Structures are given as structure tokens and as C-alpha cells.
Amino acid sequence: MPGIISRYKTIFLLVGFMCFFAFHAEAQKKSKVKIKNSESFRALLKADPPVTIFKNKVYITHEDIKMYCDSVYQYNEQNRIEAFGNVHIINADTVHIYGDYLKYNGNTKLAELRDNVKLKNKSVTVTTEFLDFDMNESVGYYFKGGKIVDADNTLTSVIGRYYTRQDLLFFKDSVEVHSKDYILNSDTLKYNTTSKTAFILGPTTIQNEKETLYSEDGWYNTASGISQFFKNTTLNSKEYQIKGDSIYLNKNDENARGFDNVELRDTVNKFILRGNFLETFKNTEEALMTDSAVFIQVAEQDSLFLHADTLTISKDSAGFELIKAFHHVKFFRPDLQGKCDSLVYSMQDSTIWLYNDPVLWAQGNQMVADTIGIETQNQEVRYLHFRGSSFLTAKEDSTFYNQIKGKNMLGHVKDNKVYKLDIDGNGETLYYPKDKNIIMGMNVAKSSDITIHIKENKIDQIVFIKKPDGNMYPLFEVEPEMLFLKNFRWFDGIQPTSKEDIFIWRDTAPKTSQSILKAEVLDRKKE
């Protein structure tokens, strides 16, 4: 047993000596801070800890670091110094740090500078009252406020880090950047002094004379003027607001692009564009929206919702907004619905023009023409213009259809209801007058010009401007071939019935054929 204990003691002693020599060897690796020059010195050997004081034109080195000051206290045993007055540190020949007071630890290579501190590296200057600088990593920290100036920008923040090797600055708390073009306020920011790129990492506002941008994630190259933002981004001006999951900006060509869940809101003309891709050109005041594009004309009562493959905004020769929609155009308002292949909305005269197979629905009426115009005043429809091959159809019941046709027609609207219809040229009518809700027969008439008065969505009175040619037929005399005026079409199932329905495009061919309707009349006559 004593032999075993003796062997353990030997092992412990060997381990202890190994640890001691390892610690001693590690300590030897720590290079000493050296005082290379001074005009006078005084050693206080009995002080605790012992200290040597050097004064006047003091020059200090530590590895590749050079330091200058008016006086220094050297604590040789701890391998540290305290420097006073006109402190100047040179690290790696590019980083220059100045201050009134320095505490430097040679073992950790940490420099703590206080009062009137200035750090200069290439084109960047940092000023603060409190700066810690890690010579190992070449990183400076300030934590009680600081200012950074480079060739293009001036930045202030409460907390800052400067990674001099990577030319990277990190800021937090009350960050503010001033340049000749903008002011930036942020919670958290990174800035690369080489690429001149700012990376926003928290709530940030960028403001210039015309616009204010808010975002919580993104980057901005201050040299090229190109930026992109990714989270909760909003761009505001006096005339408009743009939102999107991602927004790209190029101030050189005045170009902006929005991606995914994009919204452009015109605060002057009170309309909204929505979609998944937006491109705007400020120098030409143009915008393009695609991918689930929607135009919304905002109104106090009933807003208009319009969808197309592509929507554009531009200015006409008088400087008014011009909205254009291309392909698969459908729109919905509770009192008015329509579809066409292309559409133009002029803010100058507040008129919407529908082109290429347009169809309009209002108050149970289906209206078609070569071109249809919707004229509004104070966001309410006042007139409906039908130009070329105009045709109005209203379903009387499952079999019979009231029909009005002519070369051109003008619909008069009040309180969102058509109350009068003027037919100009080649006027024809086919309708079913009622008495106590019983169809009395079929009335067919022709006149070049006709005025029709409508009450409660039904024909109330017909005024023939010129002598009409017409007849009244009892139902039992009505043959199937008499049911329809020439070019009759009924688009069943195509009318949008909600704002969501504008995204559903159906075949525009008539869904209810004349042959089926004629067969139904024959069945009714047999009954």
C-alpha cells in the first residue's frame, strides 16, 4: 500500500511540473510592452504594484504596434501601461488612434482609450469619448456614442464596432446617417466602407426631399444609388405610396421595382394598383403592374375592382393620369360589371373605354357594342356610351328576352341606375309588355332614332323620334324565328358576380344558344 501511494505522488509531481513549465512557456510567449524612448523616468519599486513613470516624448512598442504619448505608467509585472496626453497608436501602419488617455494590456492586446478619441483608417474617421480596440482582431468598439465620417456620409450612433480589416462598421441604437442626398435613421445598421453599402438589420427610415422609405431588412449602396429592401417595406411621397415584399430602387435611372404582394396607392387620384410585379419610371411618370394585377378605383360607396394581365399608368399630353389594361380584362362594382380585351381609363374626363368584344352588365341588362365608354363624375357613373353594333338585352324570363339595338346608344344614369336610353341610327326594339306581371305579347318596332325610358329596371316608355315600323304579336302567334333580333347573343355565366370573380376568365362565346331557346318556346306553345 505505501508503494502505491508513493507511485501516485510521483505521478502528481510530474503532472505538476508539466503544468508549471507549460504555464511558464505560455507566459514567455506573451511579448513585453517596451518603452523605447522618453526624456525622463522614475521607478516606484515599493508601490503596489511597482510602477515606472516615463515622461516627455514617450515612444512605446509592442510587437508591430507603435504608441506615442506625453507620459506613461508602466506596470512591468502585469505587462500593461497607462498613457496620458497626446496618445497616438499606430496599428498595422493603416490604423491610427488618438486620445487623451490609454490603458493597454500587453497580454490581451486590448487598448482602452478615453476622452477626445479619434480613430482614422484609410478614408474613415471615428470620433468618440470611449473606445476599446482589440489589437488581435483589429476591431474597435464604442459604447457611449460616436461619430463616423467617410467621403460620402456622416454617421452617429450610441453603440458602434469597426472591423478595420474587413472595412466593416456595425452600429446599434439611435443610428443616424447624413449624406448630401438623404438622411437615414435606423435601429441596427452595418456599413461596408469599401463597397459603400449599408445593410439595414432593423426598423429603418431613409428620407430625401421627395420620398420617405421605411424597411426592416435590406441594403443600400450609397455610391451607386442602387438598393433593395425585403421586410415591411413602404415608400411614401406626396402623390403615392408603394408597398411590397421586396422593393428594388435605382436612383440613377429613377427606376423602382416591387416583387410579391405589391401595392401602389395614388393618394391624389384615389386609386390602388395591386399585383406581384411592379415597375415604375419616375422620369417618365410611368408604371407597369403584372402577375395578378388589380386596379381599384376607391369610392366612398362602391369601389371598382378591375383585373387584367397587364396594367399600366402614364400621363397624357395634358398631364392627367392614363390607366391602360391589356388582355383578359374584367371588372366588378356592385352596380356595374364588365369584360373586354383592352381598356383605357382617362383621369382627364373620368371616362373608361372598353375595346375588343366588350360586354357590360348593369341592372339586369347585358350590353355589347364595338366600343363601350363609361363616363363618371365624382366617382359615380353618369353616361354609358355604346358605339357601333350596339345591343342591349334583358332577360324577361327563362325563354323571353327584351332586346334593343342600334348603331350607337347613349345611356343616362342617375343614382347608379340607367333611366333613359337614346338610340342613334338603325334603332330596333323587341320587348314583352306586361299587365299585372302577365306578358301580354311581343312588341317589335323599328325607327332610326329611339328614346327609351326605364323605370325600376324595366322599359316604361318608348318614344320613336321618327315614324316607327312595328307590330304587336300575341304570344300564341310568336314563332321561334321571331324571338331574336339580328346579332342577338346571351353570355350566360360570364358576368363577374364578386370582386374575386374578376380573376376567373371564361370563354366569351354565348352560353345559351338560339336553338335551345327556340326549342323552349315550342315546348311552351305545346303546353
The verdict on whether omega for the bond into residue 49 sits within 30 degrees of 0, i.e. cis, is yes
CA 114 to chain centre: 45
How does DSSP assign 452-470, residue by residue?
A: EEEETTEEEEEEESS--EE
pLDDT in the model for residue 518 = 56
Q: Are 518 and 481 in contact (CB under 8 A)?
A: yes
pLDDT at 16: 47
Give the residue from 314, 333, 327, 315 showing the smallest Cα distance to 354.
Answer: 327
Tell me how far apart the alpha carbons of residues 434 and 431 are, in angstroms, rounded to a whole number.
10
Is 261 part of any domain? no
The CATH number covering residue 62 comes to 2.60.450.10
Number of domains in the chain: 2
pTM: 0.79
Write down the pLDDT at residue 180.
Answer: 84
Average pLDDT, consecutive stretches of 10 residues, N- to C-terminus, the chain (527 residues): 48 44 47 94 87 95 95 95 96 91 96 96 93 95 92 90 92 91 92 90 91 94 90 91 94 90 91 95 87 91 92 90 95 94 92 95 93 89 94 88 94 89 93 87 92 84 85 90 92 91 78 55 55
Q: What is the pLDDT of residues 7-61, one digit of tens each?
A: 544 444 444 444 444 444 444 457 999 999 999 999 888 888 999 999 999 999 9
Tens of pLDDT, residue by residue over 89-104, are 999 778 999 999 999 9
| Structural domain includes residue 191 | no
In a domain, 459, yes or no: yes
Residue 136 lies in a domain: no
Of 54, 87, 122, the last residue of a domain is 122
Task: Confirm whether 335 is domain-assigned.
Answer: no
Domain-ending residue, one of 77, 97, 122: 122
In a domain, 201, yes or no: no
E strands, 316-457, where? Answer: 321-333, 336-346, 351-355, 359-362, 365-368, 371-377, 380-395, 401-414, 417-431, 434-435, 438-439, 442-455
Which own/partner contact pairs does 134-139 have at CB distance under 8 Å and 24+ positions apart? Answer: 134/109, 134/110, 135/65, 135/91, 135/109, 135/110, 135/111, 136/108, 136/109, 137/163, 137/165, 138/91, 138/92, 138/95, 138/163, 138/164, 138/165, 139/163, 139/164
Residue 487 placed within a domain: yes
Residue-range definition of the domain harbouring residue 391: 358-527
**Can you give the three-state secondary structure of 89-135, one letter per residue?**
EEECCCEEEEEEEEEEECCCCEEEEEEEEEEEECCEEEEEEEEEEEC
Q: How far apart are CA 447 and CA 174, in angstroms?
A: 78
348/320 Cα distance (integer angstroms): 5
CATH of the domain at 424: 2.60.450
d(CA 246, CA 265): 16
**Residue 4 forms part of a structural domain:** no
Return the C-alpha torsion angle 237, 257, 277, 189, nearest 10.
Answer: -80
Domain boundary among 122, 146, 166: 122
